[in-house]
């Protein structure tokens, strides 16, 4: 792709639309400009600022499998054999270093270390050590990059999840999906650029927040559109009962006629934009059901995702939906799966969580790969923090709990130019502190933007006199994982 050529082409178009913009409305302008899909797709307009991407992107879209609640890295992805030795012993002060704890455990009289009851084995060519809880993810170890040293300052759910998704612990900033929608626009004009799905598993303890898919101070069309497992996939998508598509079409025709007359009288380009939006809404009524209709998926594909795949709202169902959205050019597909907040009863509950999520997560990567989509789709799996090596509450033979731990936790990524089959970062014997290669969540976010052709320091938006960005004033590219 010749970026310079693309840029010139765009500026020519802008000149053209610049002259006639008052005639067709800024929205229509934006629409025409970002209708094309492709690597250098750079919509422009008042709310799409980029003239071109900052560099050639490796990924065109992101699927973010967000494991809300804070999965236990010690039981899943960060094996700590030394804990056999330290089991039930007090966590040494030299490790804990007086760091702040949540008030759920800061009052505990002691902090006994608890080893994982789950076994880890080496997988794939890299010999990636993964817990027996994740057999399917283990099977794609050669496709993923595992980072064991992600870290955050937040220690509770609300601030932590807000932080990792928006770069700030307090509400008000746009989330990653909104930044991407703003920076990249949509590649499919019949679908939103940024879609959110929430799955319901066996547990769904910790709440989520609309702000996690909010556009903050960015123009509000960049907010994530929630696709739902119950009712209309998109709010208000269906015609009212008893109204068929034909009579709706006829009604919209009448509406367009009246609005056109109104435009003739007032010449306000927004009127034409409104006409276009009603047309778009009508088209969405077809494109969304087509998107969510799984009837044409082959049995082998359905099998790949596991038995829950036909259950709307399940994680497996949403993973398959995510692949279908990726195929159709949706830029940012955010899945939330709750239930990882295992302060107590961790062994039983983490097993259930893994039953819900392991197979579909791996299936998504496999499915993307077999369709040639993994190459330019970045898949991310991870939560807002990890969990403590010390037990919250009593340690039984087959029961223990872990509190929140932000000083190190594990995530994995696949596709979109991420180096496959590698492990980055090392934590100490307790998975408490980082020994080597820390990756702050700002670094992670900078890296995601980087893969999409965006310089996190240059994707900015001016608000209250300041140029804001997803990574605030931080963030370094995590070079080892981008090859």
- Applying the rule CB under 8 A, the residues between 214 and 243 that interact with other proteins are 214, 217, 219-221, 223, 225-226, 228, 230-232, 234-243
Rounded CA-CA distance 28/44 in Å is 11
Site size toward other proteins (CB under 8 A) is 115
Query: 161-180 b/e with 16+ CB inside 10 Å = b?
Result: bbbbbbbbbeeebbbbbbbb
Q: How far is the CB of 198 from other proteins (least distance, A)?
A: 5
User: Side-chain half-sphere of 289: how many Cα atoms within 13 Å?
Assistant: 11
Parallel, antiparallel or unpaired: strands 461-463 and 466-468: antiparallel
Tell me which residue of 410, 388, 452 sits closest to 105, measured CA to CA.
Answer: 388
CB 415 within 8 A of CB 448: no
Per CB under 8 A, the list member of 22, 110, 286, 370 interacting with other proteins is: 22
Tell me which residue of 335, 339, 414, 372 sits closest to 165, measured CA to CA.
Answer: 335
Pick 203 or 327: Cβ nearer other proteins: 203
Q: Is 46 in the site for other proteins (CB under 8 A)?
A: yes
Tell me the window of 59-67, 142-150, 251-259, 433-441 that interacts with other proteins (CB under 8 A).
Answer: 251-259
Q: Is 121 in the site for other proteins (CB under 8 A)?
A: no
Query: CB neighbours (10 Å) of residue 240?
Result: 7
Site string for other proteins, 398-427 (x = CB under 8 A): -----xx-----------------------
Rg value, the chain, Cα: 24
Can you give the three-state secondary structure of 245-286, one letter per residue? Answer: HHHHHHHHHHHHHHHHHHHHHHCCHHHHHHHHHHHHHHHHHH
Q: Is 205 in the site for other proteins (CB under 8 A)?
A: yes
Largest CA distance in the chain: 82
282-301 binders of other proteins (CB under 8 A) = 284-285
Pick 24 or 302: Cβ nearer other proteins: 24
Q: How far is the CB of 347 from other proteins (least distance, A)?
A: 18
154-193 binders of other proteins (CB under 8 A) = 155-158, 170-172, 186, 188-193
Q: Is 333 in the site for other proteins (CB under 8 A)?
A: no
Q: Is 45 in the site for other proteins (CB under 8 A)?
A: yes
Q: Is 477 in the site for other proteins (CB under 8 A)?
A: no
Per CB under 8 A, the list member of 4, 109, 119, 244 interacting with other proteins is: 244
Pick 2 or 464: Cβ nearer other proteins: 464
Q: How far is the CB of 151 from other proteins (least distance, A)?
A: 16
Tell me the window of 114-122, 252-260, 356-364, 426-434 that interacts with other proteins (CB under 8 A).
Answer: 252-260
Pick 79 or 192: Cβ nearer other proteins: 192
Q: Is 464 in the site for other proteins (CB under 8 A)?
A: yes
Q: How far is the CB of 126 from other proteins (least distance, A)?
A: 36
Per CB under 8 A, the list member of 89, 277, 355, 399 interacting with other proteins is: 277
Q: Is 109 in the site for other proteins (CB under 8 A)?
A: no
Parallel, antiparallel or unpaired: strands 439-440 and 144-151: parallel
């Amino acid at each position: 792709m010749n970026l310079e050529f693309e840029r010139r082409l765009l500026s020519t178009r802008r000149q053209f639309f610049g002259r006639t913009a008052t005639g067709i409305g800024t929205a229509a302008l934006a629409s025409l400009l970002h209708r094309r899909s492709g690597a250098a797709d750079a919509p422009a307009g008042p709310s799409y600022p980029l003239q071109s991407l900052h560099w050639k992107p490796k990924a065109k879209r992101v699927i973010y499998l967000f494991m809300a609640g804070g999965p236990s890295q010690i039981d899943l992805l960060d094996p700590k054999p030394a804990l056999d030795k330290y089991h039930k012993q007090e966590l040494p002060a030299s490790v804990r270093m007086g760091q702040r704890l949540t008030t759920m455990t800061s009052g505990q009289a002691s902090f006994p270390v608890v080893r994982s009851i789950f076994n880890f084995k080496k997988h794939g060519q890299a010999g990636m050590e993964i817990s027996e809880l994740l057999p399917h993810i283990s099977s794609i170890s050669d496709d993923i990059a595992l980072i064991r040293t992600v870290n955050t300052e937040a220690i509770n759910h609300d601030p932590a999840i807000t932080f990792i998704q928006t770069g700030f612990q307090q509400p008000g900033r746009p989330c990653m999906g909104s930044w991407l929608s703003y920076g990249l626009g949509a590649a499919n004009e019949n679908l939103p650029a940024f879609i959110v799905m929430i799955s319901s598993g066996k547990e769904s303890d910790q709440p989520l927040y609309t702000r996690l898919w909010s556009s903050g101070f960015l123009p509000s069309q960049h907010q994530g559109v929630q696709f739902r497992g119950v009712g209309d996939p998109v709010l208000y998508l269906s015609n009212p009962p008893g109204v068929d598509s034909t009579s709706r079409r006829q009604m919209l025709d009448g509406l367009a006629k009246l609005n056109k007359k109104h435009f003739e009288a007032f010449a306000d380009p927004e009127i034409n934009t409104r006409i276009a939006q009603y047309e778009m809404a009508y088209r969405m009524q077809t494109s969304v059901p087509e998107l969510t209709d799984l009837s044409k998926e082959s049995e082998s594909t359905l099998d790949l995702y596991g038995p829950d795949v036909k259950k709307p709202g399940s994680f497996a169902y949403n993973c398959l939906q995510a692949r279908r959205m990726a195929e159709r050019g949706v830029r940012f597909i955010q899945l939330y799966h709750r239930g990882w907040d295992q302060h107590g009863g961790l062994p039983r509950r983490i097993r259930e969580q893994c039953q819900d999520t392991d197979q579909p997560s791996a299936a998504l990567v496999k499915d993307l790969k077999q369709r040639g989509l993994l190459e330019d789709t970045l898949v991310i799996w991870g939560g807002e923090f990890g969990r403590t090596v010390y037990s919250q509450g009593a340690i039984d033979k087959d029961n223990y709990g872990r509190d929140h731990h932000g000083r190190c936790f594990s995530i994995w990524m696949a596709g979109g130019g991420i180096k496959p089959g590698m492990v980055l970062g090392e934590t100490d014997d307790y998975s408490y502190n980082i020994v080597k290669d820390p990756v702050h969540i700002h670094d992670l976010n900078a890296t995601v933007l980087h893969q999409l052709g965006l310089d996190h320091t240059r994707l900015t938006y001016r608000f209250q006199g300041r140029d804001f960005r997803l990574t605030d004033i931080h963030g370094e590219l995590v070079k080892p994982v981008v090859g």
